[in-house]
Structure 1
Amino acid sequence: MVELIKGAATKEREGVEKLFAEASEVLATFQKEVTGFIEEGERSMLGEAEADLRWKEERRAKLAQCKQNLENVPGTDTIYFLQEFQALKVAMEENLSPSLSFQNELNFTKCTQAVSAMKDVLSAACKSQWDRLQGKATDGLNFQEMEEAESRFPDKSNNPACQESRDYFLKFAFIIDLDSDTADKFIQLFGTKGAKRVLCPIPYPESPTRFINCEQVLGVNLMNRGNYYWEVELIDGWVSIGVIAEDFNPQESYNRGRLGRNEKSCCLQWNGQNYVAWFGGFESVIQQPFFHTIGVFLEYSEKALTFYGVKDSKMTCLQQLKVSYLAKGQSDPFQNKINNKFTSLFFCKLKPAFFLESVDAHLQIGPLKKDCVSVLKRR
């Protein structure tokens, strides 16, 4: 018996030491990957920022030279003055530098959040297994079962985005401009932020990206990495807000072309009575009061899209579209569709999309810019 005890303890000790070494290697690898991700993001975005700075400095120097030339023209030489004035005008109207990805988000700033979540899971696992070893585990699920259950039913209360006020989301503010080349002829645009359904068709020029069977319009902006947040004011009528794949065919029929009625788009619809989430032709009715302001939070890398009701700087989660497996015996056609097809939507670049369904539909994209500045000042 003594030999048996010693042999079993030695074998167990060796196995534990080996597993701890392997676990340490996993953590070291994860640390190396996260650190590398931060360094790569820093290099990439610094390169963009420095190139943009050089471009702006060259542009400023060119404008300054044109201005100086104009000021040096003799007052009596009208032709020379007009020539120099035209040169300055052309320089001022040159295309601006391309938009920078870091203006929307520094994509490596979620690393702390990811590592913190990993640490919490690890701490919970250690405590759970230690309690089991000591015989203190409570009746019910073991850690593995708890982990599986958590994956089936994600607790949104643990998501920082659900605990924070609106200020949290403004860190990912995405400035959207409506694309007039996509607007259906029964949509009137007000600048780049407002859209209203009208009865008389508007003679827009022909465009291969224009919707012809659905009263829809897209944002010019593309989303393919990081996090994005924008807000929409529901002014009147039935309005749907969502995202759509860049390669979606705008000439699809009405039944297939509407937001959420295909696997290339999804949306939150207000139908005058309640909210409804749509994807792939399946719907999920949401029992929540009406909110004039809807916040949209796209986590591209997480393959998740969440809609919030916004009021007094507080956020109420209306619906999150994300793969989340159901427990055995449960059936939800909408979530099953999400689980089977939603991930494929993120194989494409995405665009903000809007569907003005009723004849009185009217929306306005929320002005986040001033709010973002105020948040930065407070922080």
Structure 2
Amino acid sequence: MTLKLQSLNNVLLEKATQRVQSRLGELNKTRSAILAGTQAETDSRERLKLYQKRQASLALSEGHAISAQPSIFEDDTQDLSRLGNEALIGTRNDLLPIEFFEYGLYAARSVGRIEHVEGLRFGTGFLVGHGLIMTNHHVLPSEHEARQHFFELGAEANRIGNQTPSKICSIEPDRFFWASEELDIAIVAVVDEDPSFIPLDHYGWHALIRKQGKIKKGDPINIIQHPLGRNKAVIVHNNHLLHIENGTDAHMFCWYSGDTQKGSSGSPVFNSRWEVVAVHHMAIPQTNTAGDILGKDGEPITRATARRHPDQIAYVANEGIRTSRIVDALEVAQFTKAHHADIRDFLLKSWSSPGAQRRGLRAAVRSAQAL
């Protein structure tokens, strides 16, 4: 029996699949442009202007100017006899400053595993400041469900150096809880069970940046996650933003390539500056017009094969919720508890303050140095 999308009884997945199916042309156009090195041409003029404006602003604030990469042929004195000694191979410059990895390690410290107390379900979440974590609504859909889970930091393999114990945090929705089923986002408070080890705020946090222009189509993305509830893992750089749009009924979402698995829900999706650009919420399977989910061989996959070999399912793209849209929704959210509204206001103010992301990463540096 073939596996039908509708038989999964997953409304979120059905809606996401419809969104992707109607945008396959755009996704494939970006994929082709990435291979050709012309990905910048696939984004809208409006979004490119926002991106360029933000990059110029960041360059000024960091004390350096943006300049174009010079061609080796612009200099008449270039020694062409040494031309083959070094070169950029491919259609794009993949050179990164070495601090990219250092920043990534600090960015990863605030990403943790969300686990049901009976081990029934897993997800990923990350600290966003003031003892709050962000994940998906389908991971923590209610205050009652939230109480049945805990948040674990530091669940990662470490074959070099000393293995440090992980930190367990209980989840406390009474202090703060907000969830949006439409966006598939939840924010909830956690409690540090052992502040004598490493205080929770020393793990760092990620400020959500409302301003658009953090990334453009074709740019690399990075995802830190707990796939299948296992130790922390990362996909880095060789994954790309495939599509994003404004002014449509799907403006809240973006689509990107990269390997994710069950348990990756709620993972932060980063740009090359380790700024959160989206929150991952699902991978979209490839389907045919009859609604059959396809395997990697292009044929409808059977339910039995999908159960035994889930890695044989073909996926079109991942879908995430855009950071700017999360901030917009949180700002207008209504709360029945006054102290929840107060915490929301304080959180939004801290995110929008100058240098918020840098402060979050610096806190992670302190905890790393304490180990």
- Structure 2 length normalisation: TM-score? 0.25
* Structure with greater helix share of residues: 1
- Structure 1 or 2, whichever has the larger Rg, is 1
- Structure 1 length normalisation: TM-score? 0.24
More contact order relative to length (CA 8 Å, sep ≥ 6): 2
